[in-house]
Amino acid sequence: MANGQQLMADSQSQSLKLKSKYRMTRIIDGKEIASTIKTEIATEVKSLLDHGKPAPHLAVIIAGEDGAALSYVNSIEKQCKGVGYICSAYKFPANVSEKDFLATIDFLNRDDEVDGYIIQMPLPKQVSMDKVVAHVDPKKDMDCFHPINMGNLLLGNECYAPATPYGVMELLRRGGVETSGKNCVIIGRSNIVGKPLAMMLLQKDANATVTVCHSRTENLPQVCRRADILIVAIGKPEMITADYVKEQATVIDVGIHRIPDESQPKGYKVCGDVKFDDVAPHCEAITPVPGGVGSMTMACLLLNTMKAYKAKAKSEL
Ligand code: NAD
């Protein structure tokens, strides 16, 4: 069996195992939802190509050798290919000059064949985040870096939402979780997950009542136990136990970690910020890690690229 097929089969059997172990809990299968989105995109791309149109084109800029970042970029290249997109990856060594890095952004801004791009974090220390943001063209900003896109997100205007919060929203919507009128507690206030997600849940299409918690929140378990929907983006492996969760809540785990584990064939296990075995029996629904939010991030990056492609086509009419 090919590697990709084997991974898919492993993930499906993992999902089936969880579903049979926690019969009373609904496991929201991010991998399956992401796969549906990617099939929809691939169908749309085929139709574009059949009509003689170019394929959508996503570019990625990365500097350095960070393993997780490189593997994310490799995965973007693979997933783009899978749906029929063109993907260009600009991979620089960690000592790339700031001038060359910014020149690449300027080049992508001018390149009419590129619909959108992302700039992979972390940036090398000699490259200023402020300068990078100042160079990004909001029309090609697939990760919502630019203050114009973040402002539009806050105002509820059309924009490119950051891929992970966008993924959480799609997971809730397609996973059949009602948000309107629900108490939604987010743990984590980062600019890439917690804050934009809070804005999206507040908009009139979601209508949630939102609380955002962080490292200085007092009585965190007590605040979390008020949540109908608890969304966890802390970056602390398995920190959230059953003490933080109201009976029959929905729990969405954004965290993703590799923890050394000699009992596993690869020497590590992948887990989230939620202690799954402890929490799952108390939930109405929960996302697993892997196979939850992570799969959705990629699918939503592809959705943003299609949106940019269509916006460009419309502007050229
Ligand atoms: P971050 O480190 O930027 O932010 C973490 C947040 O958690 C902060 O706002 C901090 O105040 C809060 N926090 C930390 N310790 C806390 C505590 N003890 N109690 C309450 N709040 C606490 O992290 P991030 O970039 O938002 O990522 C969060 C997690 O999500 C990480 O595990 C990351 O790997 C994961 N992530 C996953 C995806 C994906 O596609 N699945 C994408 C982005 C991030």
Query: pLDDT tens digits, the chain, 317 residues: what are they?
Result: 444 455 455 566 677 777 777 778 999 999 999 999 999 999 999 999 999 999 999 999 999 999 889 999 999 999 999 999 999 999 999 999 999 999 999 999 999 999 999 999 999 999 999 999 999 999 999 999 899 999 999 999 999 999 999 999 999 999 999 999 999 999 999 999 999 999 999 999 999 999 999 999 999 999 999 999 999 999 999 999 999 999 999 999 999 999 999 999 889 999 999 999 999 999 999 999 999 999 999 999 999 999 999 999 888 77
Q: Are residues 131 and 171 in the same domain?
A: no
Query: Is 87 a member of any domain?
Result: yes
CB neighbour list of residue 205: distance below 8 Å, 6 or more residues apart: none
CA of 169 to the centre of ligand 1 (A): 17
Q: Are residues 130 and 239 in the same domain?
A: no
Query: Is 254 a member of any domain?
Result: yes
Q: Are residues 185 and 116 in the same domain?
A: no
When computed from its CA atoms, the radius of gyration of the chain, rounded to whole angstroms, is: 20
Q: Are residues 182 and 130 in the same domain?
A: no
Cβ–ligand 1 contact at 192 (below 6 Å) = yes
Q: Are residues 82 and 196 in the same domain?
A: no
CA of 60 to the centre of ligand 1 (A): 23
DSSP 304: H
Query: Is 35 a member of any domain?
Result: no
Cis before residue 122, ω within 30 degrees of 0? yes
Q: Are residues 81 and 174 in the same domain?
A: no
Q: How many CB atoms lie within 10 A of CB 64?
A: 18
Q: Are residues 243 and 208 in the same domain?
A: yes
Cis before residue 290, ω within 30 degrees of 0? yes
Cβ–ligand 1 contact at 254 (below 6 Å) = yes
CA of 190 to the centre of ligand 1 (A): 7
Give the number of the atom of ligand 1 that is nearest the alpha carbon of residue 292.
41
Query: Is 28 a member of any domain?
Result: no
Cβ–ligand 1 contact at 225 (below 6 Å) = no
Four-point Cα dihedral 2, 253, 71, 8, nearest 10: 10
Query: Is 197 a member of any domain?
Result: yes
Query: Is 1 a member of any domain?
Result: no
**Residues 188-202 pLDDT 10s:** 999 999 999 999 999
State how many domains the chain has.
Answer: 2
Domain of residue 77, CATH code: 3.40.50.10860
Query: Is 117 a member of any domain?
Result: yes
Query: Is 181 a member of any domain?
Result: yes
CA of 124 to the centre of ligand 1 (A): 21
How far is residue 82's CA from residue 98's CA, in Å, rounded to a whole number? 33
Q: Are residues 221 and 276 in the same domain?
A: yes
Cβ–ligand 1 contact at 221 (below 6 Å) = no
Ligand 1 atom 39 nearest Cα: 294
Give the number of the atom of ligand 1 that is nearest the alpha carbon of residue 289.
41
Distance of CA 266 to the CA centre of its chain: 25
Ligand 1 atom 40 nearest Cα: 294
Helix (H, G, I), strand (E, B) or coil at 187: strand
Residues recorded for the chain: 317
Q: Of 137, 169, 204, which closes a domain? A: 137
How far is residue 240's CA from residue 254's CA, in Å, rounded to a whole number? 12
Domain of residue 203, CATH code: 3.40.50.720
Cβ–ligand 1 contact at 293 (below 6 Å) = yes
CA of 137 to the centre of ligand 1 (A): 27
Q: Are residues 225 and 103 in the same domain?
A: no
Looking at the chain, list the stretches that DSSP marks H as alpha helix, in order from N- to C-terminal side.
3-21, 30-50, 67-83, 98-110, 129-135, 147-155, 163-174, 194-202, 220-224, 276-279, 293-315
Taking alpha carbons only, the member of 136, 116, 118 closest to residue 128 is: 136
Q: Are residues 56 and 114 in the same domain?
A: yes
Q: Are residues 284 and 169 in the same domain?
A: yes
Cβ–ligand 1 contact at 215 (below 6 Å) = yes
31, 234, 238, best to mutate for ligand 1 pocket (most atoms within 8 Å of CB): 234
Dmax over Cα atoms in the chain, in whole Å? 59
Does residue 257 contact residue 234 with C-beta atoms inside 8 Å? no
CA of 300 to the centre of ligand 1 (A): 19
Q: Are residues 177 and 253 in the same domain?
A: yes
What tokens appear for 144 in the block? 């919502």
What tokens appear for 11 in the block? 């993930």
Parallel/antiparallel/unpaired status of strands 57-63 and 116-119: parallel
Cβ–ligand 1 contact at 220 (below 6 Å) = yes
Q: Which domain holds residue 199?
A: 161-293
